[in-house]
Amino acid sequence: MDFSFTMGPFTQIEVCANSAESAFQAQLGGAFRVELCDNLSEGGTTPAASMVKLAREKISIQLNVLIRPRPGDFLYTEDEFQMMLYDIQLVRDLGADGVVIGVLNDDATIDITRIRQLIRAAEGMTVTFHRAIDMCKDPLTEVMKLQDLGVNRVLSSGGANKAIDGLDLLRDMVQATDFQPIIMPGSGINEDNILQIKEITEAIEFHVSLRNPVPSRMLYHKEHVKMGGIPGYDEYAVSTTNASRVRKILELVNSINYPT
């Protein structure tokens, strides 16, 4: 297989960044691309325009932005879909290189009509179809529908909660699509499992988070008052991408080569 059209001799790492600082740390660690999101505890939503603007100012690597108007399923109302179109134009104006999208029908198939509209709106930017593919009734059948639409890559956990548990489907997707679009494994990928995932799937791009908690600078902690309802959430720490972990996983994933 010839991967030179995408990555030369190296496997590419995309970092899911929850802030402009995480995006900057991803770049420091050697990431090829950032996917900027908000509300990662809910699967990710479109970040604020201010976050996109600041991230663009802080990094020179590729910046993709998640276009997801709310948490939950991927069956959107007309208003929600209009928000997606507005957000694509907004992040384009802010300098994003690509968008990350996904829309489904009520029978858990890809909404081809709406995806075409979103791709037209994103003309000139790269397009990633996100993990909505994992919520499809038959992900392998659905991913083949994306080949003729101009989608550049598909982010998938192989129909499982974590990529390590969806290896068979991820491998089948990679083989079936022949890297058009690129299948990019993601969800729960870390230093301990990326080599196994790479070996089995033969994927050439991987989507990681690699965040560590950064303690708050607050001196006084009022522990019995909480601003959110997420169990175990520490309001006196900020989860931020760790540049050293990004650098380490890049070294690991490029320490072995695919058969020629």
pLDDT band at 256 (very low <50, low <70, confident <90, very high): low
Q: Across-strand partners of 129?
A: 101, 154
Is the CB of residue 102 less than 8 Å from the CB of residue 66? no
Q: By the 8 A CB rule, do 212 and 154 touch?
A: no
pLDDT tens per residue, range 182-236: 999 999 999 999 999 999 999 999 999 999 989 989 899 888 888 776 776 788 8
Token couple for 86:
């507005």
Residue 7 has pLDDT above 60, yes or no: no
Phi-psi group of 180: left, alpha or beta (phi > 0 → left; psi -120 to 50 → alpha; rest → beta): beta
- Domain range summary for the chain, segments of one domain joined by +: 12-253
The CATH class given to the 12-253 domain equals: alpha beta
Mean pLDDT of 114-133: 98
What average pLDDT does the chain have? 92
Closest CA to 211 of 188, 186, 236, 194: 188
Peptide bond into 181 cis (omega under 30): yes
pLDDT in tens, 124-143: 999 999 999 999 999 999 99
188 vs 57: CA distance, rounded Å:
28
Per-residue pLDDT reduced to its tens digit, 147-190: 989 899 999 999 999 999 999 999 999 999 999 999 999 999 99
Report pTM.
0.91
What are 26-50's pLDDT values in tens digits?
Answer: 999 999 999 999 999 889 999 999 9
Give the DSSP letter of residue 41.
G
Give residue 181's pLDDT: 97
